[in-house]
């Protein structure tokens, strides 16, 4: 079999394991027939390396990968090549355990932990939830499945001032009535419009990015069309005008069914992982050294 017939991913895997091929016994000594179990092996195994079995499923998966990467049909040489690579892999893993890599290698430990997490979450998410489960989640968390509340805000700032007489500024705005030019009226008091804030509907998270949490939180106290009191923050006075807002409303279930199902599966996986860790802790003695004062 020519390496030119393989994709780079498979070629890298095979070449890496092939570098230690001299350590492997001939596959013909381990497997007498590809379709029947060899002496001393269970029916679902094609080889034993030490006390570790190479299953037919693993062998067939590699054969399928090779067949997908090779133009010509696989022959007996290809099958022996595949088995050699699986034996190489087992030998390297066994040696890695002997060298204590599970205990000493951060990369190996992270990989093992990640694989266990993936397996637990995948198994938990294997079953497709029914409508009753999805509706239960949908009804229990309406805020999550509602569109984000959005605000259109005008913001004025007067730098380097103390909050001494903000009421005068607001009195001018209140007495001006509908249609008044707020920019002109506030500029007469020294306020400047903060033009960096877009004049469009924005979610709270984006408003916090622009003006910080203290000012953004004040918007939740305003009704559409209302002005804030002068707010003393970061050595400046601020006045906010809630020009418009879109209130978050719960979308019909059928419109967000896909979102509900995806969130259901995510939460199911999270809960399965928490339960699994709790089970591992209960079955394992854990002793922690008390911190020294």
What pLDDT was estimated at residue 29?
35
Residue extent(s) of CATH 3.10.50 domains in the chain: 150-246
Asked if 256 and 147 count as a contact pair (C-beta separation under 8 A), the reply is: no
Threshold 0.85, pTM exceeds: no
Cα angle 28, 10, 116; round to 5: 95
Burial-class residue 4 by CB neighbours within 10 Å (0-12, 13-18, 19+): exposed
Helix (H) or strand (E) holding 157: strand 150-159
Pick from 41, 131, 128, 28: which is nearest to 76 by CA? 28
Pick from 220, 214, 240: which is nearest to 229 by CA? 240
Instruction: Please spell the DSSP secondary structure of 54-86, one letter per residue.
Output: EEHHHHHHHHHHHHHH-SSPP-HHHHHHHHHHH
Q: Which two tokens stand for residue 53?
A: 């079995």
Dist. CA 279–CA 243, nearest whole Å: 53
What pLDDT was estimated at residue 244?
92
What are the beta bridge partners of residue 156?
193, 239
Q: Which two tokens stand for residue 126?
A: 């294997």
Q: Which two tokens stand for residue 114?
A: 């990640």
Would you give per-residue pLDDT tens digits along the chain (293 residues)?
Answer: 444 444 444 444 444 444 333 333 333 333 333 444 455 788 888 898 988 889 999 999 988 888 888 877 888 888 899 899 999 999 999 999 999 998 999 999 999 999 999 999 999 999 889 999 999 999 998 878 888 889 999 999 888 755 445 444 555 555 555 555 777 777 777 888 888 899 998 988 899 999 999 999 999 889 888 888 888 888 888 999 999 998 878 889 999 999 999 999 999 999 999 999 999 999 999 888 877 66
What is the CATH code for 150-246? 3.10.50
Residue labelled with tokens 């309406």:
142
End-to-end Cα spacing for the chain: 66
């Amino acid at each position: 079999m020519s390496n030119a017939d393989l994709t780079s991913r498979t070629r890298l895997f095979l070449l890496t394991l092939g570098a230690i091929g001299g350590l492997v016994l001939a596959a013909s000594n381990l497997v007498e027939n590809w379709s029947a179990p060899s002496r001393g092996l269970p029916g679902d195994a094609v080889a034993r390396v030490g006390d570790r079995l190479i299953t037919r499923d693993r062998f067939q998966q590699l054969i399928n990968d090779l067949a997908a990467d090779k133009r010509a049909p696989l022959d007996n040489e290809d099958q022996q090549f595949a088995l050699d690579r699986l034996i190489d892999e087992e030998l390297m893993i066994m040696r890695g355990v002997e060298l204590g890599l599970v205990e000493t290698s951060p990369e190996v430990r992270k990989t093992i932990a990640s694989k266990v997490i993936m397996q637990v979450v995948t198994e938990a998410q294997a079953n497709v939830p029914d409508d009753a489960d999805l509706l239960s989640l949908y009804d229990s968390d309406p805020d999550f499945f509602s569109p984000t509340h959005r605000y259109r805000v005008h913001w004025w700032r007067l730098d380097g001032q103390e909050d001494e007489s903000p009421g005068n500024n607001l009195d001018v705005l209140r007495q001006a009535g509908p249609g008044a030019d707020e920019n002109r009226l506030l500029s007469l008091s020294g306020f400047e419009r903060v033009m960096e804030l877009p004049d469009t509907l924005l979610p709270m998270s984006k408003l916090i990015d622009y003006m910080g949490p203290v000012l953004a939180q004040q918007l939740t106290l305003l009704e559409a069309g209302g002005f804030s009191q002068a707010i003393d923050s970061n050595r400046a006075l601020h006045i906010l005008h809630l020009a418009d807002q879109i209130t978050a409303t719960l979308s019909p279930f059928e419109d967000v069914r896909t979102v509900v199902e995806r969130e259901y599966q995510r939460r199911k996986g999270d809960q399965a992982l928490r339960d699994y860790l709790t089970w591992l802790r209960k079955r394992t003695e854990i002793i922690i050294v008390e911190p020294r004062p």
